[in-house]
Every structure is written in C-alpha cells, then in structure tokens.
Amino acid sequence: MPETVRIPWLHDRHNHTSFFASLTGCLNLEGLSLQEAIARIGALPKDQVSMVFGWHSAKLPFTAEDLRRLPPAIIVNFSLHGFVLSGEAPAMLAASQPELVAKRNDKDWCERNLAYLLETFSHTAHLTAEKLAIHMDRMEALGLAVADDMLLPGEEALQVIQGSRWGKHIKCWATPRTFKTLGRQAQEACAGLKFFMDGALGSGTAGIDGQFLDGRKGLLLHEDEGLRRILGEAHGFGKALAIHAIGDLAIEQAIRVLEGLHRDGLDFPYVRLEHVQFIRLAQARRAKELGLTLSLQPNFNSDSVDYADRLAPEWLEINNPFRMLIDEAGFVPGRDLILGSDGMPHGVENALQWSLFPAFPGQRMTVEEVVAGYGADPGRSGWSLLEIDREARRVKLLESKAEA
C-alpha cells in the first residue's frame, strides 16, 4: 500500500543555479529522437549562436555533416562534460573565444578547462532576472527552496541573483580566476572558491584507480605540488573551499594535499569535497579527522545503472557508499554529509527515488537522512507531498507548495 510523506522544501547544496537559470528558454534535447533533435536545432536562428543543452552523445550521434548543415549553436552534453559547435558557430565565435574554437575537439583540454567552458556557456545564454524567476519557481514546484550556485560565471550574474527575492538565500561559489575579477563587495558575498581535481564518469575522465571498460584511464588535473601551490595561494583569500573529486585517486590527492597544508598550519574556514562517488573507508576516516564536509548527490546512484557500459561491476557497486559513510565512518547527514543534485536532475522526487530504491544496498538512505542531508532554509518555507510505493519501488511527487 503506497504511503504519503510530507517533507519541508529542501536546500539543494550542490547545483549550478546561474547556469541552469540562464538556459531558460534555450532548446533542451532531452528525450528527443535524433530526427527530432536535428529538426529542432534546424529551426534556430541563423544570425546568432544559440545555446542547446540536454545532448546525449550516445543517443543523438550527430555526424559531421549534420553539424555542418545546422544553424550556429553550442550543443552541450547533458553531463556538462563535452560539447560540439554546429553551423557557422566556429567562425562566429573565433574572435571572442578563439581558444574554445581551436581546442573544442581536444577532450583533455576541455576537461582541464571545464570551469572556463561552463562560465562561457553561461555568458552566451545570459542570465536575466526573468530567467532566474522562472527557474526558481520551477525549483519550488520540484520541492526545492534554494540551491547553492557552485560555479558563479561573473559579477553580472551575482548582481541578478542578489537583486532577486532569493538573493539572501543562494550561496555562490566561484573559481579563483572568476573570483579575482569580482569587486570587493562581490568577493565578500561569495561563499567560497571552487576547484576541480578530475573529470566525470560520463566522459571517462573521473580519476579512478583503474580503467574504464574501453581502456580509458581517468584524469587528474593537477600534480601534487601544483595543487599545493594553488590551494596555498587561495588560503590568502580567507575563503571556504569546495573541491570537485569524483574518483578515488582524485579524492586521495585532495586529502593528501590538505593534510600537508594542515601540518604546515594552513587551514581553511570550511572545506567541502564535492561528489566523492568512489571514496574508500580509509579516505573517509581521514576526511573526518581533517574536519572536511562531504557533499554528495543521491541521484548519482543512478550512475551504477547508466554507466554499466563503461564501468566494471565492482566500480558500480562502490559508487556513492552512503551506508559506509554514515554507519562506519561516522558522517552525519546535515552536519558533515550534505546533499544536492548537481541539477541532474533537479528536485526531491529523483533524490528520494534513488535513495530509497538504489541499485545496491550500500547506496540506500532513509527519508529522514535525505531530508537532513539537504536541509531546509529557514527563510524559504514550503512543503512537498510525496507518494512512496515500496512494493513498486517508486517515489512520486504529488504536490509542492509554499507555506500559507
């Protein structure tokens, strides 16, 4: 018999608010057939570069000839790792983004410059107050009150966010390069600095201690000494850190360098390790000793199904080891284990679906653990009503409303 559960609006601790909001009104290829996608892109303007997202390269295998015939567009992979340019886009972007055009087929360069690419995509799509309002209204309908913006593209986007009714509730993080371009007040408003250690599973560039089924090996973006220097320089800003590390090699490197900095007396106000999908128990315990916060995404439990074509079975099973982190390493949801979605997809329904009914038992969390891990923003009050059918292994969002 299905049960109904009421939970408060949640705070998505890892999202890309300005990026996703800027895409409002842009073409989304999610769920389209190849023929439909080509037709929809073909209807875009020919005199400007359009942003297109939601592209699954395996499901929508555009040929070089397809891309040549289409209007100018930046077509971004659904994982945000990887893109292609269509039509006259290379010529139209050559003056303003010469490196992006020249290096677009260099996968290693694209992974090493992911933050720059996402910021460029955000600028191209252009965030407005209207787009932000539409996006945040949609988030509320999905059961989210607010979301941390983990990759602020620049001061203009921050001004849009701060000028909105969500301004006091959205915490913005920026890469060091973007942070340095901000004015003093904008820098003070930033929650912290964002760093990347490795790539992603979808692109076969997550830094795992092994290889993908096609023989590819993951990518570490830094040598230890270079990372130590970068983080040491960041220490002078007095800001918190958020460090993207998916694979166990990347997690190991991040913890190892942070331990060295700690021994030298260089501690940060607050450090989050983002994603940590393949963290080992010994690493988790070291992270706990350092006082680090782990930031994970329950919806990425689905990677254990979606990426069975590129990850060996043993890797699928140890992805997102929530039970180990909570029961053995002692992390507490909402305290030093926080949850978000990365916008893939947004909303409480998917988070609870994959938490309650994951592919592997070690990924399971209770409703209470998920709610605590996301947390609620006291300034944004609302509730969601969900139907949980344990026999059918299904979660359905029935309603989401602001408090009366």
Segment 188-196 shows an average pLDDT of: 97
Is pLDDT larger for residue 56 or for residue 139?
A: 139
Residues 6+ away with beta carbon under 8 Å from 259: 286, 290
Q: What would the 3-class secondary structure string for 288-309 be?
A: HHHCCEEEECHHHHHHHHHCCC
| Tokens (6 digits) for 21 | 């909001």
pLDDT digits (tens, 9 = 90+) for 36-66: 999 999 999 999 999 999 998 888 999 999 9
As a whole number of angstroms, the distance between CA 366 and CA 372 comes to 10
- pLDDT tens for 93-128 read 999 999 999 999 998 899 889 899 999 999 999 999
Using 50, 70 and 90 to split pLDDT, how confident is the model at 78?
confident
Mean pLDDT of the chain: 95
CB atoms within 10 A of CB 235: 15
Residue found by looking up tokens 């942003």 in the block: 51
Residue 312 has pLDDT above 90, yes or no: yes
Look at residue 58 in the predicted model and tell me its pLDDT. 83
- 150 falls in which pLDDT band (50, 70, 90)? very high
Token couple for 20: 């996703």
Percent of the chain with pLDDT over 90: 90
Q: Are 241 and 272 in contact (CB under 8 A)?
A: yes
Nearest alpha-carbon partner for 206 in 320, 100, 52:
320
Q: What is the mean pLDDT of residues 25-42?
A: 96
Cβ-contact 262, 295 below 8 angstroms: no
| Local confidence band at 378 (pLDDT 50, 70, 90 cut-offs) | confident
For residue 377, the model assigns a pLDDT of: 86
Q: How far apart are the C-alpha atoms of 396 and 404, rounded to whole Å?
A: 23
Q: Which residues contact 391 (CB under 8 A, 6 or more apart)?
A: 1
Average pLDDT over residues 222-233: 96
Give residue 52's pLDDT: 97
Residue with tokens 């018999």: 1
pLDDT of res. 340:
98
Whether residue 290 has pLDDT greater than 80:
yes
Which residue do the tokens 């949640």 mark?
Answer: 10
- The per-residue pLDDT for 79 is 82
DSSP secondary-structure letter at 330?
-
**Residue 257: pLDDT above 90?**
yes
Residue 86 has pLDDT above 80, yes or no: yes
Residue 127: other Cβ atoms inside 10 A: 26
Confidence of residue 140 (pLDDT cuts 50, 70, 90): very high
Please give the Cα distance from 186 to 397 (Å, whole number): 37
User: Which residue, 348, 353, 334, 346, is CA-closest to 382?
Assistant: 348
